[in-house]
Amino acid sequence: MAARDPSASLSARPRVDSNWWYVVAIVPLFGLFVTAFVGWMIAWALLGAGEFGPAAMPMPGGGMPFAFAPMLLGMLLFGTAGTLLTAAYPVALYLDAGAVADAGVGWDPDPVLYALVGVVGALSTAFAFAVPLSAYYLYRRHQHVGVP
């Protein structure tokens, strides 16, 4: 079907009662934050922050557990968020695509297909495939719904 006129006001467009697109939109942002965090960890290691000895850290125990705490805390937080997002992403695609299809906005996305592609993308490539899928889905959703 043809895309809706982009000059049409948002109030004239049909409303889709779903906020699941927020989860779909978080995936590219999460990928950006993880990439920045991994870059920070690599820079931290290359600049010698991981080298400790009695002269570098004159404290009991060498201070190594405390020096690695920011990296370990970041890995724990990003790992937990990634696990939750991996589980929520296909569900969010399914529920939002179903709501868009039921709203009759001129685009009929197949919820099962999007959910299956979301599962394969999230599990097989660690979100590398999920980022372009999210971008495509949100672009098509914006063309027909106006949000996001």
- Residue 5 DSSP code: P
pLDDT at 121: 80
d(CA 127, CA 134): 10
């400790």: which residue's tokens?
A: 52
Token pair, residue 33, equals: 């934050």
pLDDT at 4: 55
Domain count, the chain: 1
d(CA 64, CA 103): 56
- Asked if residue 86 belongs to a domain, the reply is yes
Q: Is the dihedral of CA 51, 53, 58, 62 positive or negative?
A: positive
Q: What range does the domain containing 60 cover?
A: 20-145
- Asked if residue 39 belongs to a domain, the reply is yes
pLDDT at 24: 94
- Asked if residue 58 belongs to a domain, the reply is yes
- Asked if residue 68 belongs to a domain, the reply is yes
Residues of the chain with pLDDT under 70: 1-13, 48-67, 126
- Asked if residue 59 belongs to a domain, the reply is yes
- Asked if residue 136 belongs to a domain, the reply is yes
The average confidence (pLDDT) of the chain is 81
pLDDT at 3: 56
d(CA 55, CA 59): 9
pLDDT at 70: 78
pLDDT at 31: 87
- For 53, left (φ over 0), alpha (ψ -120 to 50), or beta? beta
